[in-house]
Every structure is written in structure tokens, then in C-alpha cells.
Amino acid sequence: MDSERGALFDPTFGGGTIAPLVGDRAWVTAMCDVEAALSRAAASVGLVDAEHAHIVTAAAEVLAATLDITQLGVDAAAGGNPVIPLVTMIRAAVSASGVPAGAVHPGATSQDIMDTALMLVSRDALVAIEASLDDACSAARDLAHAHRTTPMAARTLGQQALPTTFGIAAANWASGLRRARTRLTAVRQACSVQYGGAAGTLAAVHPHGPAIAAALAAELSLAPQLAPWHTERVVVADLAGALGTAAGTIGKIAGDIVAMSATEVGEVSEDAPGGSSAMPHKRNSVAAVTARAAARRVPGAVSTVLSNMDHEHQRAAGAWHAEWETITDLLRLTGGAANRISTSLGGLHVYPEVMARNLDATGGALLAERVTTALSRHTEDARDIVTARCAAGAPLDTDPAITEFLAPSTVRELLHPATYLGHAPELVDTILNELVLDIDHTRHPKGSR
């Protein structure tokens, strides 16, 4: 029998931690939890005997841990979802104790159980993803603080542009991670119970439908529903979109780290670089590489969710079913990417001396704009003079056409990267201060003190 899905590749792509939270057993446990909570919720309004609800809960707990998932999958094929055979199993398990069939799955449809289970799986996985993003953000903050004024070459369109600092680069990484995390938190808090019955009217449990739905939400610690949302899929789309944003943020950082660790650049390296099966000299930024790989698979899955929002009428034929594994994959991939970028940032080595060397690679041309500005106060030909000198690859401080107006020492001072960082250090402070305020607000929301 094959090993559990993901066992081969999850460790590489960071999914080892998130996999148990989104795997088949997690789904089965979530469905059993929903069925048990639904019986208790129905008991709270008198539709199910309280002792029967207790028996259902105990049976569901046992089944969640012991049932044969492979067989459940086979049995699910006939009805198109695993809830139908699962309900049969629970009813069989409690019948010997005198529990009537109606005490299991009261007033529900299969989609109620699947959607609510999806919310439970997503909520628990999001907690883990947020923790990884917090760790990554903290590591990026530390890098920004440590390298607030460390000069490095900014690169635009793949070319050196002007000096910046590694601090502002890392601060922007931290800011993106925090914003992505904040959005995921909001989505997690909005994970809503689903309870609507066969056609979303709760007719089978009238007049107790809203009360059961509210009790079900409380039992599962999910957000209450305003109304059944069987074919109104914004909550699922928001989840996919937030995961896509987080993955995109991670992918950008991972791409920067990979580029900055290239042999010809050499400005950063990971704490535990990976080797090559063929080339002994290789020191690959494996954590960033695999974070990027996981993140790059996410947009397609997000697109699948968004393109399946058009659920027809009161129950979709296929669009709903397409969400289960897609959202599972999104959680697994984004969680893995978050785990790997946290590892990369948490052990990132920064080499200011190499950054300084790379700043000198153009022989001062990096700050030719600054020389042009100073020279233009003396001659209208300033741009042509500086451009011609840069094209020739010759030093600016020895060009007679320049030194006629600017002393060589003045030119060298103008070409010193550390004197042309603009507001970069201040911007680092601004971002880091904002992150502290945001973290404090998250820990102590308004009105909670």
C-alpha cells in the first residue's frame, strides 16, 4: 500500500508540519466533529435527546480515530462525497445503544458537513501558517534592525540603480509578511459554520433552524452564519485569495534571497545551504528555493477556486466538489512555503563587505547621476560629459571635463554610497515602528484591555 499522500515531498517543501492538519485523517476528524456538534446543537433546542447526543459524540470520536479512510473513500464514490457513508457508519455505531437515526445528521445536508469541516480544517491550518509567518516576520525585523544603515546596491530591471540599505529591503520583507499574516487572521476569524439543510431553508428543523446553526457555531468555535451560503462562496474565495497573497509575499522574498546568494553576487547565504549531487562546490539556498517552489504552485490553485465561484442555483454540480482538494493544496503549499521562508530568514547570513564590493563594481557609475547634478550647476553639457565617461568605463574623478569644475575629492565624495542613502534608515524605523504597533494591536485589540 502506498504511503500517505505527500510523505515523499512534504519535508522538502516545508509541508511536514502542516500536512497532518490538512490530510485525510484531519478531514475525517473534522467531519466527525461537525456531526457530533450538530447532534449536541439539536439537543440544545430539544430536537435530540441529550443522552443520545452524548452517545453520538463518543461514537464519532472513536470513528474519527479508527475508521478505514481508504474504504470510506471507496464508499464515498457512489454518492459523490464522504459524508453519506460516514453518517451511515455513525448511525450503525449508535443504533445498538438505542439512538434513533434522526439523532445523527439532524436537518443537515452533505454540503453542510463538508463546508463546515472545510472551515475547521482551514482554521487549524491557518493557525500554523500564521505562526510561521510570525517567525519569518520576526527574523526579517531583526535583519532590518541590524542592517539599518548597511549600504547595498538597489537593483531595478536586473541592473544596479542607486544605493539603498539592506535594512530597508529586510524591513519591506517584514512588512509584507505582517500584512499577509493580518489578512490570514481576518479570514480565519471569518471561518463560518454552514447549516442550511437540503435547499438552504432549514425547513427540516423549522422553527429551530437559526438557533441550531448558532449553537453549532458555538460548539465548534466558528463564526456564526448570517444565513446558509451553499452557493455564495465569498468566504471560500477570501480564504484562497489570502493564501495566494501570503504565498506571493513569500515568493518575492525567496526570490530575492536566491538572487542575492548567487555566486557572482554573494551578499547573503543561508545557515544550512544545500549541496549538489554532482558539484561539490555548490552551496544552494535550499530553504528559499523550496519556499519559492511551493509558492509558485499557489496561483493556479487560487485561480481554480475563483473560477469555480459560479455555483448554480442552490447546489453546485462540480464547482463545490472542486474546492475540497484545491483548498487543501493551498493550505499545504502556503503552509510549507511559510515554514521554509521562516527557516531561510531565521538563519540568513549577511555580508556587508560583499555588498560594499558590489557597490564598487561600476567604478562609481552607480552614483553618476549625483555627479551630473553637481556638474550641471557649472555647465549645460554635464549629462553628456558624465555619460561619455561612464560609457568609456573610465573613473569620473580623473576626467578633465569634470575636474575643471569639481575637485577630484568632491567627485569621490559624491560617489560614496553611504552618503547617498536618502531616507532609507528613517524608512526602516518607520516600518519597524509600525510593525510594533500592529503587533501590539493584534495582541490587545481595541476594547480588550
- pLDDT tens-digit series, residues 9-38: 888 888 888 999 999 999 999 999 999 999
Check whether 146 has a pLDDT greater than 60: yes
Check whether 52 has a pLDDT greater than 70: yes
C-alpha cell at 421: 542613502
Which helix or strand (DSSP H or E) is residue 153 part of? strand 151-156
> In sequence order, what DSSP letters do the residues of 120-147 get, joined into one string?
HHHHHHHHHHHHHHHHHHHHHHHHHHHT
Q: What percent of the chain has pLDDT over 90?
A: 82
Torsion angle in degrees (nearest 10) through CA of 376, 379, 385, 387: 30
Nearest by Cα to 230 from 191, 269, 262, 200: 200
- The rounded distance, in Å, linking the Cα atoms of 318 and 320 is 5
Nearest by Cα to 363 from 333, 386, 331, 332: 386
Question: What's the one-letter identity of residue 169?
Answer: A
Check whether 2 has a pLDDT greater than 90: no
* pLDDT at residue 4, rounded to an integer: 57
pLDDT higher for 12 or 281?
A: 12
* pLDDT at residue 363, rounded to an integer: 75
Cis ω before 408 (30° cut-off from 0): no
Q: Are 98 and 107 in contact (CB under 8 A)?
A: no
Whole-prediction pTM: 0.91
C-alpha cell at 449: 484591555
Which helix or strand (DSSP H or E) is residue 154 part of? strand 151-156
Check whether 395 has a pLDDT greater than 70: yes
* pLDDT at residue 10, rounded to an integer: 85
For residue range 294-328, list pLDDT tens digits in order. 999 999 999 999 999 999 999 999 999 999 999 99
DSSP 274: B
Q: Are 183 and 444 in contact (CB under 8 A)?
A: no
Whole-number mean pLDDT of the chain?
92
Over residues 220-248, the mean pLDDT reads 98
- The rounded distance, in Å, linking the Cα atoms of 266 and 283 is 11
- The rounded distance, in Å, linking the Cα atoms of 162 and 366 is 6
What the chain holds in terms of domains, given with CATH numbers, is 19-355+429-443 (1.20.200.10), 364-414 (no CATH)
* pLDDT at residue 277, rounded to an integer: 40
Check whether 109 has a pLDDT greater than 50: yes
- The rounded distance, in Å, linking the Cα atoms of 156 and 441 is 35
Most distant CA pair in the chain, distance: 103
DSSP 226: S
Over residues 83-91, the mean pLDDT reads 98
Q: Are 261 and 285 in contact (CB under 8 A)?
A: yes
Task: Give the C-alpha distances (Å, rounded to integers) separating 125 from 82, 165, 172.
Answer: 21, 35, 26
- The rounded distance, in Å, linking the Cα atoms of 141 and 433 is 10
Q: What percent of the chain has pLDDT over 70?
A: 94
- Which residues are part of the catalytic machinery? 276, 315
pLDDT higher for 449 or 112?
A: 112
Check whether 388 has a pLDDT greater than 80: yes
Beta-carbon contacts of 423 under 8 Å, excluding residues fewer than 6 positions away, are none
Over residues 94-117, the mean pLDDT reads 97
* pLDDT at residue 3, rounded to an integer: 42
- The rounded distance, in Å, linking the Cα atoms of 116 and 106 is 15
What Rg value do the Cα atoms of the chain yield, rounded?
29
For residue range 397-435, list pLDDT tens digits in order. 999 999 999 999 999 899 988 888 999 999 999 999 999
Q: Are 344 and 290 in contact (CB under 8 A)?
A: no
Q: What confidence category does residue 274 fall into, taking pLDDT thresholds of 50, 70 and 90?
A: low
Q: Which range, of 167-171, 268-272, 317-321, averages the lowest pLDDT?
A: 268-272
- The rounded distance, in Å, linking the Cα atoms of 86 and 67 is 9
Q: How many residues does the chain have?
A: 449
Beta-carbon contacts of 1 under 8 Å, excluding residues fewer than 6 positions away, are 70
Beta-bridged to residue 155, according to DSSP, are 160
